[in-house]
Amino acid sequence: MNLTFDDETEEFRAEVRDFLASNRDKFPTLSYDTLEGFEQHRVWDKVLFDAGLSVIAWPKEYGGRDATMLQWVVYEEEYFKAGAPGRASANGTAMLAPTLFAHGTPEQMQRVLPKMASGEEIWAQAWSEPESGSDLASLRSTATKVDGGWKLNGQKIWSSRAPFGERGFGLFRSDPEAVRHKGLTYFMFDLKADGITVRPIAQLGGETGFGEIFLDDVFVPDEDVIGQVHNGWTAAMSTSSNERGMSLRSPARFVAPAERLVAQWKVDQNPAYAERVADAWIKAQAYRLHTFGTVTRLASGGELGAESSVTKVFWSDLDVALHQTALDLRGADAELYDHWTEGLLFALGGPIYAGTNEIQRNIIAERLLGLPRK
């Protein structure tokens, strides 16, 4: 693998680096899982959008700049190296948007994507239900056909951005006679529509960026169906692969904290933690190289498939290890380092959301290794 960047890519890197340095004062200072922080992040999304740096790999007609996937990785490296924040809009830009590019209509893309890229509309993911988490195919929320559209009923839970966002996307059972993943349809819907109630869910740190969504005869027009009716599972796999794989967790999200961890260890060079620090740093670099390999494959026409389950297990375990090691290294002073403490609280959810790591290991065993289900 050749990791030498051409002049155009290096010029782009310099552009991103200079922009972030000159706009550091506009970085959100609060979590997007609080109302005030959420609005800060919405403003930041607009700043990026106006600079042509919100969704660089998208086509220009939807707010992007037709950047290559290699430029996307370089952008992410500079973004997180600068200490810039995670994006409140990521549910839309990293999960729903790839699904629309693969299964949406031209009208849907023109209507949805520019507002998504600018932060005008921020999306909640509405996958899990009280009895259907990682086993998404067992969901019970329903969609009933009516004149001009559908009526949605049911309950979704652990919906990120739901308390503060404008719109949601998820699967609903449109054919009650079908079983499991058959008979599901993929919908977009308005979180402010009649019949929708959103209840915030408090997280470990007290933030309320997750919520429950209750749907009672919520009307959704036909134009908000993604892909084919009763075949939403196919479209949903595009979303879940991106959530589990590269798009949700770019390597820069781990390389930057790994570098900070090494710098922290160098202060007193406690030998008891040398191996753990080195292990975290090596794994962050390995993930970076893995991502370049993925970029190469996708640029050659490949797709994210079951391999995304391997990626998801790797980055979620690494995220926990990075933050736990940093806090252990600080000892009694650990709670004084808010960014590590808050990071650990968030990282602990990684092995659970986007499909639990236990489910991911089953997928790896069955689809990649060809092992029997029993």
User: H/E/C letters for each residue in 248-281?
Assistant: CCCCHHHHHHHHHHHHHHHHHCCHHHHHHHHHHH
Asked if 62 and 133 sit in the same domain, the reply is no
Domain that residue 22 falls in: 7-87
Q: Which one of 77, 129, 212, 243 is the catalytic residue?
A: 243
Asked if 66 and 171 sit in the same domain, the reply is no
CA nearest to 253, candidates 319, 337, 304, 348: 319
β-pair partners for 153:
142
Asked if 265 and 341 sit in the same domain, the reply is yes
> pLDDT above 70 covers what percent of the chain?
93
243 is a catalytic site residue:
yes
* pLDDT given at position 332: 78
Q: What is the CATH number of the domain that holds 189?
A: 2.40.110.10
Asked if 61 and 135 sit in the same domain, the reply is no
279 lies in a domain? yes
Q: What is the CATH number of the domain that holds 338?
A: 1.20.140.10
* pLDDT given at position 236: 82
Count the domains in the chain. Answer: 3
Asked if 294 and 220 sit in the same domain, the reply is no
110 lies in a domain? no
What mean pLDDT comes out for the span 231-255? Answer: 67
Last residue of one domain, picked from the residues 199, 232, 265: 232
Q: Residue 183: left (phi > 0), alpha (psi -120 to 50), or beta?
A: left
Contact of 199 with 24, CB cutoff 8 Å: no
Q: Above 80 in pLDDT, residue 249?
A: no
Q: Above 50 in pLDDT, residue 1?
A: yes
114 lies in a domain? no
243 — pLDDT class (breaks 50, 70, 90): very low
Last residue of one domain, picked from the residues 87, 115, 131: 87
72 lies in a domain? yes
Last residue of one domain, picked from the residues 87, 111, 138: 87
116 lies in a domain? no
214 lies in a domain? yes
338 lies in a domain? yes
60 lies in a domain? yes
* pLDDT given at position 238: 67
Residue 339 sits at the vertex; the CA angle it makes with 338 and 343, to the nearest 5 degrees, is: 110
Bigger pLDDT: 371 vs 153: 153
Bigger pLDDT: 135 vs 360: 360
